[in-house]
Amino acid sequence: MISEIRVAMKVNGTEYHVTTQTSRTLAEVLREDLGLLGTKIGCNKGECGACTVIMNGRSVTSCLVLAVQAEGAIITTIEGLAEGGKPSPLEQAFVEEGAVQCGFCTPGMVMSAEALLALNPHPSEAEIETALEGNLCRCTGYRKIVAAVQKASRGRE
Amino acid sequence: MIKELEYHAAHDLKEALELAEQFGPRKRFLSGGTDMTVRLKEGLVKEDIIVDLSHVAELRFVREESGVVHVGAGATHADLSASPIVRQHGLALALAASRVGGPQIRNMGTIGGNVANASPAGDTIPALIVLDAVVSITSRTGTREVPIIDFFTGPGRSVLAAEELVTEFHFPATGPGELSAFGKLGARQAMTISTANVAFYFRIGGDRRIVEARIAFGSVAPTVVRAHKTEQMFCQLPPLLSWDAIRGAAQMAWKEVAPIDDLRATAVYRKEAVVGLLAEAAYEALASCWHER
């Protein structure tokens, strides 16, 4: 019975080797084994987007990824965006636009927006809305979130 | 809580097929995992061995060769919705893939998983049916080809044997005078399971009449269904763009679907929904097609 597996993954630039049961998700390993509590678990079935991280350049809901599937993956979580202790321009734009209410959806929103801007630095409003359609904000502060992404986009080359 | 499973990652197709033969019905394939991981959490997976296909790079491709579009089972919904080949030569499939879940789901979920799950609500299925797609099913002993319409035997059931894997879909590339599209209705715009969905393919003659039509509906029967009588109605449409005529032709769908009442919608709602979805998508597609010509 092979139910414990050693998984190598690079998270926020650091190489990790984790031994985990096959039943655990990437979200659980990030939070419980690596202590990266910025990644939130909301619905735990891929519908709310709170657990969004960037895996191999694409946004994914980490509650739907089995940790063992992340073997060899390059992962960025919300903790990986700040540089030198300062918020990234995207995070700063969320602060300046007041795009945070209760804050639970925010890490997922930021990661979805980060994945968008990395591929498409100057998205249209419709493209921003599509990129964020997998992230729910139950405070319903969507307008300010879109405005924050637009602000960060204006600051990009 | 997910039960503990024996896990095997396949690194290439050969290894995947060997593992499939070795473990047979005790194993379940894992591709993108967007559906399977939820089922694991809900305790709905009866198999106790997982064979992970997510590292099998050779199943992830889209290419066009001599008028035929080939799509690997490992192509993600994001791959399909962004593919210029699929946009140009099988638009219904690109549109269907672009409406699956949200971006995160489309980045992980694959067309092979969507079809092999055999859900009557699978969004890529009606698109593949109207594009006349063929499924390549491979085992250690060889590959067989099954028309997609013959692939499904019931909700969650297909002709796939335990040692077999869906490896590819292929369909004739659509060209000038051919159009296809997809429409979906769910509880909300995104991140939703289809309450009803529709795909169609029309070939338009020189006199602007529809000379060939294929129409398929999802979430309205135990499997995705072709609507042959509705197709005939569309082939009898006058060569002018009339909402009333298109809506009238679509009305035949009422008689061709057999939905049930469930937690997502009632049967009557679904019948009315497929009529409206088909009429709106067909009107829009015909309008833009005629406008171009």
CATH code of the region B178-292: 3.30.390.50
What residues of A are in contact with residue B104 (Cβ under 8 Å)?
46, 49, 52, 59-61, 64, 112, 134
Return the biggest CA–CA distance within chain B: 62
- B53 pLDDT higher than 80: yes
Chain A residues with CB-CB distance to B190 below 8 A: 130, 133-134
CA–CA gap between residue B9 and residue B27 (Å, rounded): 12
Convert the pLDDT of each residue in B36-52 to its tens digit: 999 999 999 999 999 99
B9: helix, coil or strand?
strand
Cβ contacts of B292 within 8 Å, gap of 6 or more: none
Compute the distance between CA of residue B102 and CA of residue B104 in angstroms, rounded to an integer.
6
pLDDT digits (tens, 9 = 90+) for A79-109: 999 999 999 999 999 999 999 999 999 999 9
Domain boundaries, chain B: 6-52, 57-172, 178-292
CATH class of the region B57-172: alpha beta
DSSP string, A16-51: EEEEEETT-BHHHIIIIIS--TTS--SSSSSSS-TT
Q: Cβ contacts of residue B40 below 8 Å, gap of 6+?
A: A23, B2, B3, B5
What chain A holds in terms of domains, given with CATH numbers, is 4-80 (3.10.20.30), 89-154 (1.10.150.120)
- CATH number of the domain located at residue range(s) B6-52 in this protein: 3.30.43
Give the rounded percent of residues in chain B with a pLDDT score beyond 70. Answer: 99
pLDDT at A1 over 60: no
| Percentage of chain B lying above the pLDDT 90 cut | 82
Instruction: For chain A, list residues whose CB is within 8 angstroms of any CB belonging to chain B.
Output: 1-3, 5, 21-25, 44-47, 49, 52, 58-61, 63-66, 68-69, 71-72, 112, 115, 130-131, 133-136
Residue with tokens 């020189």: B206
* B258 or B27, higher pLDDT: B27
Arithmetic mean of pLDDT over chain A: 95
Could you give the 3-state DSSP secondary structure of residue B32? coil
What's the gap in Å between the CA of B33 and the closest CA on chain A? 6
The pLDDT score that the predictor gives to residue B9 is: 95
Query: What is the tens place of the pLDDT at every residue in B75-114?
Result: 999 999 999 999 999 999 999 999 999 999 999 999 999 9
Are A130 and B5 inside 8 Å of each other by CB?
no
Average of per-residue pLDDT across B5-11: 93
Q: What is the mean pLDDT of residues A33-53?
A: 97
Contacts of B206 (CB under 8 A, 6+ apart): none
Q: What pLDDT does residue A2 have?
A: 56
Distance, in angstroms, between A131 CA and closest chain B CA? 6
Q: Enumerate residues 63 to 82 of chain B having a beta carbon within 8 A of any beta carbon in chain A.
A: 78
Q: State mean pLDDT over B170-178.
A: 96
Position B219 confidence tier, pLDDT thresholds 50, 70, 90: confident
Which of A131-135, B139-143, B207-211, B214-218 is predicted least confidently?
Answer: B207-211
The pLDDT, as a whole number, for residue B292 is: 65
Closest C-alpha among B114, B136, B127, B118 to residue B86: B127
A110-147 residue pLDDT tens? 999 999 999 999 999 999 999 999 999 999 889 999 99
How does the average pLDDT of chain B come out, rounded?
Answer: 93
Do residue B104 and residue A21 have CB atoms under 8 angstroms apart? no
d(CA B125, CA B133): 10
Provide the pLDDT for residue B42. Answer: 92
Summarised one tens digit per residue, pLDDT across range B268-280 is: 999 999 999 999 9
* pLDDT computed for residue B293 by the predictor: 55
Best interface-test mutation with A: which of B95, B104, B106, B107 has the largest number of A CBs within 10 A?
B104
| Distance to chain A for B4, nearest Cα, Å | 5
In chain A, the residue whose alpha carbon lies closest to the alpha carbon of B1 is: A23
